[in-house]
Every structure is written in C-alpha cells, then in structure tokens.
C-alpha cells in the first residue's frame, strides 16, 4: 500500500502529491508529534497522578473494584499511574496503531501487562461484555483528549459516547471538570491579524489611502481558533477591558452533551475602549473538591512561581465579528457559541432579558470576503505592518517611472495598488483599480505576450510571498517565476527585490528544545520506548530537515553572530548548478547549542532590506527579537538535546548548506567543534 503526502514544490509554487512508502506518514506524524512535550509537562503529569490516585482510593473506600477506562492512552502513562495506584484493571484505548504498539511495549517493560489491556480502536468502536474488548463497564474514566481550545480534538462526543456505553453511572472521572475562562481586551496588534487596516501612501500628487472593501470590513472571518503562547505577548500590546470571568464548565463525571449550544455571561467593563478580542484559556480540576488544579492561565492572571511551559496546551485568541465600543461600568453580554469541535464569540449591549434571548444564533461564522481564506493571521499582520509597507513604498519610488510597465508575482499582495498610486503606467498582476491593474490568471511559465498586450515588462516586483510556502526559502519560487518570464522582460529590467540572502545563527532555546528532547522516565515510569520511536522517525527523514516555528513565541538567545550563508541574485535567472557553501561560526556566548535558526532577507533596493527572521539582538545576554509575521526555520542539533552534560562547551559550529536548484530545497549539516 502506498501513501500520498502533500508537499509544497518551491520550484512551481504548487502543492504536489508525492508517493511515499506506507510507513512514511506515520514517521512524519510521530516525528512532529507533541508526545515529548506532554511527557516533559511535569505539572500536568503530577496533577494527573494525584487525581488518579485519589479516584482509585475513593472507589476502593466504597468497597468496589477499581476498573479504569483510559481513552487516548498514548504511551500508556495514565493507565500505569492507575495500576500503580492500586487499580484492579485498566483498559487503555489508542486508535493510532504505531502508538498503540509502543504502549504495549511500555506497559510490558514497566511490569503492568497483567493489569493493563491496550485496545487499538477508536473508543466508539469498543465493545463491552463477556466476548467484548472490555469485560464490564469501567467505574473510573481517565482521559487526556484536550487541545488549546479544550474541545477541538473531539473530547465532547468521545465523553458523550463513553458515558452511554463504556462507563458506569456515577463513575469517577479524572479530570473531574474543565472550566473555560474569558477576558475582553482591546489590542491593535491582535486585531491586525483579522482585519486589513487602511494603508497611507505619500505620492507625488498628495496622500492616497488604500482601504479594504466593505465586505472585507464587515466579514466575521473564520471560526478556527488562533492559539498562541499568550505568555509571550507583552502587556503593552493589549488593554484589559474586563475582569476574568467563567464562561462555561463541563463535569466529566456525568453524561456529557456534545450538541451545539451557547453560554451567556454579563460583563461589566473595567475600562472604556474598543472590544475586539476575547482571550480565553481553561483549567482542569482533577478531583471533585478542586484541590488538584492544572491551569493554562497567562502570566498576568496567576503568579509566575507556578508557571509551567508547555506547547500542547496554550491560550486562545478569538476575534469578535466587529469591534464594539464599550463604556466602563456599562454592562454587556458576551455569548459563547459552540459546536462539537469549536467555539466562537459575540458581544451585545445589555438590554431586556427577553430581547437578548431571541438573537442567539448558533451557526458558525463564515468568511464571505475570501481574504480570511487566502491570508492566515500572521499574513494579515504582515500586510498591516506600516514599517514594512513604508520600505516597499520607498523602494518602489526609487525604481518606478511614469512609463513603467510592472508585473507583480506574489499571492494576495498590495504591491500592485502601491505601484499604481506611485505612478506606474500599467500594472499586470500574475495570479483590484480595475482599469489600471490587470489580473492575469496564468502561471508564470504560461504567460504569453497577448496577456501583456504585447508590452515588455520594465519592472518586475514581488514581496515575495506565496501561500504554499512552509519554510523561509520556499518563497524563492519568485526566482523560478522570474526565470520563467524572462522572454517578456526588457533587457534593462528592474527586479524588486533585486536579491535575497539566507542567514543563520546558533541559538539556545529557553523551552522549545523540550519538544525534541528524550524523556527517559516520566513520574517513575520508563518511557524510553517512546524516545526510541521518535528518534527512529526523526532519522527516517525529519531530523535532516529544518522545521518552521514562529520564534516570537519561543524565546532564545544567540550564541553566535548572525551569518549570511547564501545569496540569490534575482537579476539573473536560476542557475543550472547547485549553490553550496561551507564554513564555521564561532560561539561567542556560553550556553547549550540547541540548534541553528535560518531565515531569509530580501534586498529591495541599494540600502533597503526586509528580514523575515532576526530583527535585532536586544541586549548583551543575546536575547533575540524576531519578525512576528513569519515562521523561521529551526534545525535542532540532536546531539546537544540528547546529552545532558557536554564535556567542555563547543567553541564553534561548522556548517555545510546546499541549495538544490532543481528541487528548490535546502539540505544542511552541522557539526559542533
């Protein structure tokens, strides 16, 4: 059996389906999984262990046998906790086959094979009875089925089914309940991820303002959650408009309903402002009394002493359909609507109760303007970045003449409109000033002179930005497109950006290293099998590749100076031969070399560059500021992450980097000296 995997092809800018051998998808899933991150989450593991111990004790005190159902067992960790806490038997359900196989080995290795039965099925397919998967219904339900939004991984329908068919009435549940909290804020920064702000252009004939069309302005956007490490959002970037309030809670020890519903709370604004954003997070009580609590609350809500870094559970940013002015002390109603898998919010002024009941519609919002389908949230932020736009405007002013004929190659870009206002005579946009800007719906290699009305292109522009790009260098598709349209360019064509360069720096991560770090033992249980499985999958392909991460969310410090390693000249066509480089970087600061960060810089004009990575190293400790609109490429050094104590710190790192012009991919290798 073959597996087909979608991969972006940087030489064509298209998604292509590659045939992989049947193991491949699993390797990718395991290699990129967050299992390591969960096993390193000490707070989560300790609280689960305490909660399970208490639940087993409560059942035993009633003189009953403790029969545990663990749905989504993963490594089998929670079942082993239950068995060691005295449970009589555990049914551990895991639908993902490679994971279920690992759980069997881990359970065996830890000596619990007679107490734990691993069932490789979806919980809704599990049977109960003398000939079933389970001999009888369980009286303790243990799960960890939560994502940042709580319900996005299908926790509600899973619980609903389990209560109907797999557990006894009045069972114990760990966790016992989950509670969702919300806080209303105003934030220009976060709002810029959802709406296009007006763009001001200083042209020869006065100021022009580019505004988004009304259907975009009034579009509610997409209901998918925006989950981020809210602890990296400085308090100067948002204004709190309400206290934290409980939005809803779910008691997992009683039957759960997954059908669509809504919850409504009254808020009294603590400050006047524009309500734009609902920040949200949850906590779980592992026991009925609420003494064992695990919370995702951000830094301004709880004391930092209890702070636990984790990447599998973060915080949510929800965009209200429109910004609503609120006045301090003047009550408003916040409504949370949910279906089985997602939540969305609306805000209304407080009016008569009856009137308010009438206007709750539980239908999920739908993007009507298409922009939210074309641009993701960081892309909105990038288009709204005034400083970045100014650099493009300044560069365009240097190269445009009144008779310029321009071609723009980028996805969903504002450059054509900017260029038009800055005086380009005619503008062609590959891939709206209807009569001035012509949108050509053709791939660059299929461009004909009739598309261009027999004109030659004198200025070729791109940001470059393409929606299929995953890693920073995938936007080099611009270079391939430029090569494809060579015959349509004038001999002295101006290309903007004129060139690009690949940069890299060696860093020590504050926390991100944990997602690739082996665990060994977790709460006294040997989970080495999981480490080996992840390592094996990484070696299958992933560890030889960089992976994209938005580093503004993941603090790190630089151990070396940033270094330019490759350059790409867009004034020339893509060469036939590979571009490669070798060298070394000296480590200037003490620290663990967790990996290399790589990013692109685009040189727009003689002295104007745009960085998609490092903005600055902000102090002598080496703390870094990253472009918040782009993901940077991270190449983890497995040797460092795996060895606890390195004998003597390395003094330098050598690198070999190869850009394959046939595939558009970059291969890299690093050695610590």
**H/E stretch holding 372:** helix 371-374
> Who contacts 29 (Cβ-Cβ below 8 Å, separation ≥6)?
96
State the Cα–Cα distance between residues 87 and 632, nearest whole angstrom: 46
First to last CA, the chain: 44
Cα 323 to Cα 581: distance, rounded to the nearest angstrom: 50
Structure tokens at 185: 């804020």
CA-nearest of 93, 89, 82 to 119 is 93
Name which of 130, 79, 82 is nearest 103 in CA terms.
Answer: 79
- Within 10 A of 229 (CB to CB), how many other CB atoms are there? 19
Residue 352 CB contacts under 8 Å (≥ 6 apart), including other chains: none
Is 542 labeled as catalytic in the residue annotation?
Answer: no
Phi and psi at 570, nearest 5°, equal: -75, -10
| Annotated active-site residue in 20, 153, 340, 545 | 153
Residue with tokens 């609902």: 278
Distances (CA, A) of 150 to 61, 225, 258, 515, 589: 32, 11, 13, 21, 40
Other CB atoms within 10 A of residue 105 CB: 18
Q: Which of 16, 22, 94, 144 is catalytic?
A: 144
Give, in degrees to the nearest 5, the angle at Cα 88 between 87 and 92. 75
Write b or e for each residue in 320-334: b if 16 or more Cβ atoms lie within 10 A of its Cβ, otherwise e: beebbebeeeeebbb
Separation of alpha carbons 472 and 502, rounded Å = 9
Distance from C-alpha of 385 to C-alpha of 569, rounded to nearest angstrom:
26
User: Please, what is the angle between helix 24-31 and helix 97-109, to 10°?
Assistant: 60
Taking alpha carbons only, the member of 324, 369, 382, 424 closest to residue 199 is 382
Q: What phi and psi values does residue 359 have, to the nearest 5 degrees?
A: -105, 35
Rounded to an integer, what distance in angstroms lies between the CA atom of residue 650 and that of residue 241?
Answer: 49
* Secondary structure of residue 668 in the 3-state scheme: strand
Q: Is 662 buried (19+), middle (13-18) or exposed (0-12) by CB count in 10 A?
A: exposed
Cβ-count burial 338-355 (b if 16+ within 10 Å, e if not): bbebebbbbbeeeeeeee
Peptide bond into 464 cis (omega under 30): yes
DSSP type of residue 488: G
**Is residue 153 annotated as a catalytic residue, yes or no?**
yes
648 and 593 Cβ atoms separated by less than 8 Å? no
Rg (CA), the chain: 28
Distance (Å, rounded) from C-alpha 663 to C-alpha 8?
Answer: 10
Residues taking part in catalysis? 144, 153
């Amino acid at each position: 059996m073959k597996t087909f995997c979608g991969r972006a092809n940087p030489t064509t800018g298209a998604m292509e389906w590659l045939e992989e051998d049947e193991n491949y998808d699993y390797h990718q899933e395991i290699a990129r999984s967050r299992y390591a991150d969960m096993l390193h989450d000490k707070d989560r593991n300790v609280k689960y262990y305490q909660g399970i111990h208490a639940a087993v004790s409560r059942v035993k005190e009633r003189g009953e046998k403790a029969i545990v159902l663990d749905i989504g067992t993963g490594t089998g960790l929670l079942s082993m906790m239950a068995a060691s806490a005295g449970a009589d038997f555990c049914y551990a359900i895991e639908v993902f086959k490679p994971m279920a196989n690992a759980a069997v080995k881990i359970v065996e290795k830890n000596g619990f094979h007679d107490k734990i039965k691993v069932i490789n099925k979806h919980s809704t397919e599990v049977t109960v009875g003398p000939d079933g998967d389970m001999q009888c219904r369980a009286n303790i339900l243990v799960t960890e089925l939560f994502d940042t939004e709580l319900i996005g991984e299908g926790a509600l329908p899973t619980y609903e089914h389990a209560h109907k068919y797999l557990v006894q009435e009045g069972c114990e549940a760990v966790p016992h309940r989950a509670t969702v909290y919300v806080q209303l804020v105003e934030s220009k920064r976060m709002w810029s991820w959802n709406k296009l702000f007006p763009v001001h252009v200083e042209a020869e004939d006065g100021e022009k303002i580019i505004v988004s069309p009304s259907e975009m302005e009034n579009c509610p956007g997409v209901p998918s959650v925006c989950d981020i490490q809210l602890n990296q959002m400085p308090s100067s970037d948002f204004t709190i408009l309400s206290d934290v309030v409980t939005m809803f809670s779910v008691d997992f020890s009683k039957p759960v309903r997954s059908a669509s519903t809504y919850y409504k709370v009254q808020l009294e604004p603590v400050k006047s402002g524009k309500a734009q954003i609902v920040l949200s997070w949850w906590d779980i009580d592992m026991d009925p009394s609420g003494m064992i609590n695990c919370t995702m609350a951000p830094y301004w809500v709880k004391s930092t002493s209890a702070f636990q870094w984790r990447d599998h559970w973060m915080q949510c940013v929800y965009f209200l359909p429109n910004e609503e002015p609120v006045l301090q002390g003047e009550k408003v109603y916040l409504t949370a609507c949910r279906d089985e898998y997602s939540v969305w919010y609306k805000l209304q002024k407080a009016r008569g109760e009856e009137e308010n009941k009438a206007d709750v519609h539980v239908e999920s919002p739908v993007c009507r303007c298409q922009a939210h389908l074309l641009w993701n949230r960081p892309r909105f932020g990038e288009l709204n970045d005034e400083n970045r736009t100014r650099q493009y405007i300044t560069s365009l002013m240097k190269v445009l003449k009144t008779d310029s004929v321009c071609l723009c190659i980028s996805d969903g870009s504002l450059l054509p409109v900017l260029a038009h206002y800055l005086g380009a005579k005619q503008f062609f946009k590959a891939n709206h000033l209807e009569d001035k800007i012509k949108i050509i719906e053709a791939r660059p290699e299929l461009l004909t002179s009739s598309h261009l009305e027999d004109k030659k292109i004198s200025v070729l522009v791109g940001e470059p930005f393409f929606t299929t790009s995953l890693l920073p260098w995938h936007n080099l598709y611009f270079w391939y497109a430029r090569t494809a349209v060579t015959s349509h360019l004038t001999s002295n064509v101006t290309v903007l950006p004129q060139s690009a360069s690949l940069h890299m720096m060696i860093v020590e991560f504050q926390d991100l290293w944990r997602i690739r770090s082996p665990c060994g033992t977790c709460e006294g249980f040997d989970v080495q099998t999981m480490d080996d499985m992840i390592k094996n999958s990484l070696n299958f392909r992933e560890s030889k590749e960089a992976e994209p991460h938005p580093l503004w969310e993941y603090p790190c410090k630089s151990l070396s100076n940033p270094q330019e390693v490759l350059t790409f000249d867009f004034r020339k066509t893509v060469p036939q031969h590979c571009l490669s480089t070798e060298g070394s970087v000296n480590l200037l600061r003490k620290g663990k070399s967790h990996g290399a960060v790589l990013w692109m810089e685009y040189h727009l004009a003689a002295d104007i560059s745009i960085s998609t990575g490092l903005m600055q190293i902000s102090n002598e400790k080496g703390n870094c500021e990253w472009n918040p609109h782009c993901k940077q490429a991270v190449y983890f050094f497995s040797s460092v992450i795996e060895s606890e104590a390195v004998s003597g710190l390395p003094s330098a790192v050598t690198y070999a980097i190869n850009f394959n012009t046939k595939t558009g991919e970059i291969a890299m290798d690093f050695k610590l000296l």
